[in-house]
Each structure stands twice: as C-alpha cells, then as structure tokens.
Amino acid sequence: MSFGKNINNVLVSVFNKEKLETILSTLKKNNSNIFSTGGTYDYIMQKGYEVTKVEDITDYPSILGGRVKTLHPKIFGGILARSKIKLDTEELNKYKIFPFELIIVDLYPFYQTVQETSDEKKIIEKIDIGGVSLIRAAAKNYEDVLVISNKSQYEDLAKILSNSKLLNTIETRKEFASNAFKNTFVYDRSIYKYFSNNHFLIEQDIDTTFKTRYGENPHQNAVFFGNLDETFLKLNGKEISYNNLLDINSAVQLISEFEEPTFAILKHNNACGIASRENMIDSWKNALKSDPVSAFGGVLICNRTIDSEIAKEINKIFFEVLIAPNFDEDALNILREKKNRIILKQKKFKFDSIEHRSVLGCILSQEKDTKIDTIEKKNIVTIKKPSENEIDDLIFASKVCKNSKSNAIVLVKNKRLISSGVGQTSRVDALNHAIEKAKFFGNDISGGVMASDAFFPFPDCVEIAKKAGITSVIQPGGSIKDNLSIDYCNENNLSMVMSGIRHFKH
C-alpha cells in the first residue's frame, strides 16, 4: 500500500467557480498555499482567502488580453519537476521554482459556446490553451501532482483533502490523470469537429459511463457511454440493462413521430402494439389488442401523463419498462408495487442528428432518418384515391414501418397497429407473417391499409394484401416494375401512394 502525499502548493485556474469555495475552505484548513490568476484570483480574493498572483511568481504580467497567463517555466517547471530525480530538484533550487502538488482547472466552455452562438470570434476565444497545458503537464507528472480537470471532481477532491496523507496516493493521482487525459481528449475533439465541420464525429461525453447488468446475453459485459440522466429521471426499478437501452431507444424514436395521444408497446426494438386515440386509456387498450402475447415483458411508452386509471390497467400485465413525460403521484404508487419495474420520466431533449454503430471493429456513422412521409396529390399513383381516414392510417402506418426492422410490412386500421411482419428476408414473408398474426389474435384486416419500408419489385404483395382485405397501400416506389403494382391496384380498386422515401432499418 502506498502512502499519501501532502499538498503544500496549489494552482487554481477555473472558468466555472461554482462549488469552488468548499475546496478553498479545506485548503485553508490544511495551510496550503494557493496561487491563481485572472478571474479566478479575483474570485478567491473576494471570498476572503489568501491567494498569490501567478504574476508574482513569474515576474511577468498577463498579456494579450489574458491569452497568456500561466505559460511560463516557473509554473510548468513546478508542475513537471520529478521529486525523485536529483537534477530536477537541483534546477528547481537554481531557478527558485517551487513544486506544485495540486492543479485545479476547469476549462473554457468551448462546446457550450458553439451551441449558443455562431459568432466565430466568441467561439475562438473559448479555446482554452493554458488550462489544457496545465492539465496535461500535471497528468504527465502524476507521481508528484494531483490534477483536477473538471468541476465535477470537486466532491472527490474534498474527500482527498480531508486526509491527504492517507488518501492522496499515487494510485489516486494516476486515476485522476487518466480522467484528465480523457477530458482533454473530449475537449480537443469538440474543437476539431468545429474546425473540420465533421458532424459525423461521436459527441457523447465519454467521461460519463455506467456498466449495465450484462450485455446482450448474460455472458457478455457492456458499458453505456453518455449521461442518461439528461434524458430520463428514473423513478423506480432495477438497473437498466443493455437490451433495455436498445428497446428504450427504439421506443423514444417511435413515439416522437406522434403528436396526438399515443401509446406504444415494443419488443426487441419493434412495435408489437401502438394506437392513437383521444385519450390515453383508449390508446392503451387498443395498443394492447394488437399482440397481447408479445406485450408480456415489453417496453411501454406514451406521450401524455400517466394517471391512476391508466396505471391500474397497465399494472395488470408484466412489463420491463414504462416511459412517459409525467406521472400522477397516485399512478406512481400503483406502478411501484413491483420494485424491479423500471419507470422513466422522459425529459425534453434534442435528438442527435447522427447515429453510430460498430462495424468490423470500426465505427459506421450516418445521418438519422428524419424524413416523414407525406401524402400529396402527386404521390397518389392510382385511379382510386385514398379517403381521408385512409390517408390518416397510411401516414400512421408509414411512421410505424419506418421504425420497424427491415424487411417490414405494417397493417393499420383506424390509427391502430393491426399487425406487422418485421425483420424478414423476404417482403412477401413479412406480409404473410403480418396477415397470419392478425388472424391469430382475431384482428380484422378488412378495410385496413398497408405500409412497406421499400418498393415492391413485383405485384405479389399487393395481390396478397387485396385478398386479405387491404384497401390502400403506401410504399416508396422506385422499382423498374412499379407499373405492375400500379396496374394491379387499378384493376382491383385499390389506392396506392408512392412516397418516394425508402425507410430501411437494419
């Protein structure tokens, strides 16, 4: 076991001063010497703590409007000097440099500035030079220096300062050094993204992670990178698993497509039930009718508040996760009867415009599919035109189909998913599966509509759909044999819309 190290000299240079006073108070109790510059120096003085200006050490003023303050051999010599190297100690004495044991830095908010303004001059001025240099120097010399590279580490620092002789070990300093390099990596990545205009770069903050219960299967380990607390407030339940996260992501993507009161049930990233009605209780009951078997152990999501009436109904089945924008207190009391049931209150957040996946040990990135199918006169390619109710159903079906695994066929009637065939290698298989499933659960297809995520190369799907009772179809079109499907529809009194937008999802 290694011994801790006393902290005599501390350099503080932070942009965000929040919660800094707690650290200053502890440093004072420990009789540590505090050095600072610029706005941080002014803040420490205003709070009544003794502090020495960096300029008093370097005998050089802050210049270029504050662009150069700490970049000086007397500062970096004190950070990079190795206590176990005789030559380093001799040079410190020769040039009257004293060593620092603690560096506290919080960088200029470059990423936040880019989000808030397009003014290039303001953005450029928020590129931190001295702060990053201080962090990297201290992290490199972790054997002698403890580095705090983000205000989120203040709480941990306070614990260390409470007993530095015991807690400020080389193992601790190495851990903080690792976090420091991670923080500067994320910071530099944001700057590179701005200058290169490469919007495909992964933006998730790798400083925030949690280990899931296990991966896709119990024998696999998995880690989530990012801050889930920015998206959800967890109100109940066990730890969120890898598979839960995949289903939650699919659920959130799907429900975002709908404005009116809508309830959806998902299993293995696909909707097995979804309905839109004037109120949530009817939406829930109709969504459940689609496939009450698959709903068992599923992920539930809605876009309105869950009240006690709805809670009593959904409490009748077993499910893994429930997501809603809000919950009545009475509803929560009912839902919390099952302690493992995951209940998430969804916060308002902005979807990332880029999605990523691992491929061949590399990362494959693409723009998200944000296109929404619309039905205009020019998109209707058949003699028969869809009715207003059919148009509503076609748009509804298209939204569900867009969020289903390819090959996908979706059957809808009265803004309710009747059935779907998803993840099939053949579009015909997907349609036949949807029809058989609808029959199994006693869901009437006649008068319903069909959506396909890609074009029909042959008229076989519209033939099968017609025989099953489908009256209108939406598909992207684009096959060199589109006319075969159009001709069949015209000959058999079906309406068809060609959206011009394919929605593959693999």
Determine the Cα–Cα distance for residues 163 and 216; give it in Å rounded to an integer.
Answer: 42
Tokens 């404005």, residue located: 259
Residue holding tokens 């066929």?
A: 409
In angstroms, the CA 151 to CA 157 distance is 10
What pLDDT is recorded for position 300? 97
Do β-strands 33-36 and 9-14 pair in parallel, antiparallel, or remain unpaired? parallel
What is the pLDDT tens value at each position of the chain, 506 positions in all? 454 567 888 898 888 888 888 888 888 888 888 888 888 888 888 888 888 888 888 777 777 777 777 778 888 888 898 888 889 888 888 888 888 899 998 888 888 888 888 888 888 888 888 889 999 999 999 988 999 888 888 888 888 887 766 678 888 889 999 989 988 988 888 888 888 877 666 655 555 678 888 899 999 999 888 888 889 999 999 999 999 999 999 999 999 999 999 999 999 999 999 999 999 999 999 999 999 999 999 999 999 999 999 999 999 999 999 999 999 999 999 999 999 999 999 998 878 888 888 889 888 889 889 898 888 888 899 999 999 999 999 999 999 999 999 999 999 999 999 999 999 999 999 999 999 999 999 999 999 999 999 999 999 999 999 999 999 999 999 999 999 999 999 999 999 999 998 999 99
Q: What pLDDT does residue 1 have?
A: 42
Amino acid identity for residue 288 in this structure: L
- How far is it, in rounded angstroms, from Cα 498 to Cα 456? 11
Cα angle 266, 284, 475; round to 5: 55
Kindly state the tokens that stand for 233.
């407030």
Distances (CA, A) of 313 to 245, 331, 335, 481: 25, 11, 10, 48
CA 41 to chain centre: 37
Buried b (16+ CB within 10 A) or exposed e, 36-68: bbbebbebbeeeebebbbbbebbeeebeeeeee
Q: At what angle do helices 482-491 and 460-468 cross, to 10 degrees?
A: 30
| DSSP line for 426-479 | SHHHHHHHHHHHHHHTT---TT-EEEESS--SSTHHHHHHHHHT--EEEE----
- For residue 393, CA distances in Å to 264, 275, 387, 411, 468 come to 16, 11, 10, 9, 17
Distance between terminal CA atoms of the chain?
Answer: 51
Asked if the peptide bond before residue 483 counts as cis, ω within 30 degrees of 0, the response is no
d(CA 431, CA 423): 11
**CA–CA gap between residue 46 and residue 40 (Å, rounded):** 10
- Count the helices and strands in the chain (H runs, E runs): 19, 20
In terms of C-beta density within 10 A (0-12 exposed, 13-18 middle, 19 or more buried), how is residue 30 classed?
A: middle
Task: State how far the Cα of 16 lies from the Cα of 421, in Å rounded to an integer.
Answer: 53
Q: Is the pTM of this model over 0.75?
A: no
- The pLDDT, as a whole number, for residue 67 is 75
- HSE value, Cβ hemisphere, 13 Å, CA-based, for 391: 11
Count CA atoms closer than 13 A to 385's CA, side-chain side: 7
* Beta strand extents in 123-169 (DSSP E only): 146-148
Q: Which active-site residues does the annotation give? A: 140, 268
**pLDDT at residue number 126:** 85
Question: How many whole angstroms separate alpha carbon 176 and alpha carbon 181?
Answer: 9
